[in-house]
Chains A and B, each alone.
Chain A
Amino acid sequence: MARVVLKLGDDISTDIIYPGRFMATVLPTETPQYAFADFPEFNARLKKGEIPAGSVVVAGKNFGCGSSREQAASTLKGHELVVVARNFARIFLQNAINLGLRLVVCPEIEAEEGDELEILPDKIINRTSGKEFRVEPLPKARQAIIDAGGLIPYTRQRLLEKVASRKRA
């Protein structure tokens, strides 16, 4: 069971997730401190460690639109948040999969802050409201990357295969 800790609307841009003024900070080990920095209360709770790993951010459509900044994915990954949204913008979705941030596409999701969600592969059950919502699979193109645990291990695997096949040739 996972608790909804933040409820957001449509078109949440990467500027809201990770404001541009902190972009000089790039390393995934350093970005988590600025997650949702323009929501000072929520940011403070994250930094104090009051929000357990696996907690859920719920949003509407087009979550992660705008800038390609990877900090927007690494900052949420750093807190091991799960994002449930009606749909995601392309670059954010790919960055999240590449870094192993958990996203759930749930086109009809209805949930409020404090609700308890049970997230299953094909549906989400909102245990607070009793309603169920279908989950859409992530793009099949990315499954190999998800299975490898992210794009870095996947690329490393592909690189080693390439070197090995060159040696054989």
Chain B
Amino acid sequence: MGLTMVEKILARATGQKKVTAGQVVEPRVSLAMSHENAALVINQFLEVYKDTGLKPRVWDPDKIAIILDHRVPAESSKTATNQKKIREFVAAQKIKKFHDIRGDQGGICHQILPESGYVLPGTVVVGTDSHTTSHGALGAFSFGIGATEMASVWALGRVLNVEVPKTIKVVASGKFPRYVLPKDFILYLIGRITAEGANFKVLEYHGPAIEHMPTSGRLTICNMSVEAGATSGIVPPDRETLRYLREEAKVKGKIEMFQPEADAEYDQVIEIDVSELEPMIACPHTVDNVKPVSQVHQVKVDQIVIGSCTNGRLDDLAVAAKILKGKKLARGVRMLVFPASFRIYQQALQLGYLADLVKAGAVIMNPGCGCCLGVHQGALGDGEVALSTTNRNFKGRMGNPKAEVYLCSPAVAAASALTGYITDPRKGGK
């Protein structure tokens, strides 16, 4: 039997001809990413070295990336002090892939990594963030780990005792109908297999609908693969991957077009015809509580959020700007827009998308994660409802356990901003 994408990547990262699902391996890491929780990683890293007589030194400063994105600019003295501690560590350890809160380098980690050319097909990427699954969009085996696990990676350059995961093959055929987006595809899949449907497994995406999908959409589906419990999502690299890496990420060096073997053994195969899909809504309070927009009736919304690591890319802002251009948000609705990085912010500024959104009534925020997880701006009041293009609707997620969060695509979010109710973008506002 042949190897899946992830088995092949892990075989290489452990110097073996092959590995099989269930085997325990210790892969070498090509990139180790953290954000503000690097403050905890530093603490645990220093613990590892305690009483060893060794000087704490990261295994390879060029393979560590730290991006400040969760609470930027700092909302409290506590956060500011943690961020200061991270900057000092970065300088002392000579970590160059550090992205501070600056308009010329900042952004959300899951956009900074791909757009900076830090992620290559066939490599192992780990991050202290569950949405590290995103980078499978470029053909890497990329997964989330905890802070102590990262401290171990910083010390040894390997992830210790990893069980090779089984892989579920997802084959997407057909053409996306107008205003049905990659977000609708992944919400549909999560609704179908449930929030634990891919627990401890990898979702490997194939088929014509994926081949025609830009990298922005692939990042959306790999990003949310973790909401089905997946260790990672992954897309075998193709012409689009190569285009993105060369033209947008400006990768100069060798790019390997790592592919799964033709006779790879999959745990399960799921087939989806995307031409049958509708815009989808994940209703409170679990991401697998998914319904087609046509079955979500008269839900009045107070706050609309467009952006985040899931849907804050140029294509997402473009579709929202197109729907909102020359129009006004409904009375009583407020809208926050979080571009995924400052590079995207600048592009959207030049293309006029941000002006279209602001004139319609939206507020452009700086790139960041804070609103999505309820730690930094955009918190909800008691009994309020948010409609958001982010990735989680758990109770308490936007800062208030007495509020509700619905998840959707940027097209649904923009169309709903015009009516004040969850609205099908194919029918338009009012």
Contacts and interface: CB of A to CB of B under 8 A. Distances in A.
B12 to A, nearest CB: 19
B145 A159 contact: no
Interface of B: 24, 37, 39-40, 43-44, 47-50, 52, 54, 70-71, 75-76, 78-79, 82, 128-130, 132, 144-149, 151-152, 155-156, 160-163, 195-196, 199-200, 229, 231, 286, 288, 373-375, 392, 394-397, 399, 401
**Shortest beta-carbon contacts, A-B, top 6:** A95-B146, A26-B40, A20-B373, A62-B196, A155-B152, A141-B163
Contacts of A16: 394-396
Interface of A: 11, 13, 15-16, 19-21, 23-27, 38, 61-62, 65-70, 73, 87, 89-91, 94-95, 98-99, 139-142, 144-145, 150-152, 154-156, 158-160, 162-163
B144 A68 contact: yes
A126 B156 CA distance: 43
A158 B156 contact: yes
Given A15-B395, A141-B163, 9 more contacts: A11-B195, A11-B196, A20-B374, A68-B129, A68-B132, A68-B144, A89-B199, A145-B160, A158-B156
B24 A38 contact: no
Nearest to B159: A94
Q: In terms of DSSP, what is the predominant structure of the interface of chain B?
A: loop
A141 B149 contact: no
A155 B160 contact: yes
A21 to B, nearest CB: 6
A144 B375 CA distance: 36
A66 B146 contact: no
Contact of B148 (A15, A99, A139): A99
B156 A73 contact: no
A90 B151 contact: no
A103 to B, nearest CB: 14
Contacts of B152: 151-152, 154-155
Contacts of A162: 156
B145 A140 contact: no
B79 A141 contact: no
Contacts of B43: 26-27
A89 B196 contact: yes
20 contacts: A13-B395, A15-B394, A15-B395, A15-B397, A21-B399, A26-B39, A38-B395, A38-B396, A69-B37, A89-B196, A91-B145, A94-B146, A144-B160, A145-B161, A151-B151, A152-B151, A152-B152, A155-B160, A158-B156, A160-B54
Contacts of A69: 37
Contact of B396 (A19, A158, A163): A19
Contacts of A91: 130, 144-146
Contacts of A152: 44, 47-48, 148, 151-152
A150 B146 CA distance: 13
Greatest chain B CB density within 10 A among A90, A98, A156, A160 is at: A90
Contacts of B231: 90
A40 to B, nearest CB: 10
A66 B71 CA distance: 19
Contacts of B70: 23
Contacts of B147: 26, 70
B161 A24 contact: no
Contacts of A156: 48-50, 52
Contacts of A155: 48, 151-152, 155-156, 160
B396 A15 contact: yes
Contacts of B44: 152
Contacts of B375: 20-21, 23-24
Contact of B196 (A21, A68, A87, A139): A87
A78 to B, nearest CB: 14
B163 A158 contact: no
B100 to A, nearest CB: 18
Given A90-B199, A152-B151, A156-B52, A67 B373 contact: yes
B161 A159 contact: no
Nearest to A96: B146
Given A26-B43, A91-B146, A144 B161 contact: yes
Contact of B48 (A13, A145, A159): A159
Nearest to B161: A141
Contacts of B144: 68, 91
Given A38-B396, A152-B47, A159-B156, A27 B40 contact: yes
Nearest to A95: B146
Greatest chain A CB density within 10 A among B43, B161, B162, B286 is at: B161
Contacts of B145: 68, 91, 94
Given A20-B373, A24-B78, A155-B48, A68 B163 contact: no
Contacts of A141: 24, 161-163
Contact of A26 (B24, B82, B162, B196): B82
Contacts of A21: 374-375, 399
B163 A15 contact: no
Given A20-B375, A27-B43, A65 B229 contact: yes
Greatest chain A CB density within 10 A among B24, B132, B148, B374 is at: B148
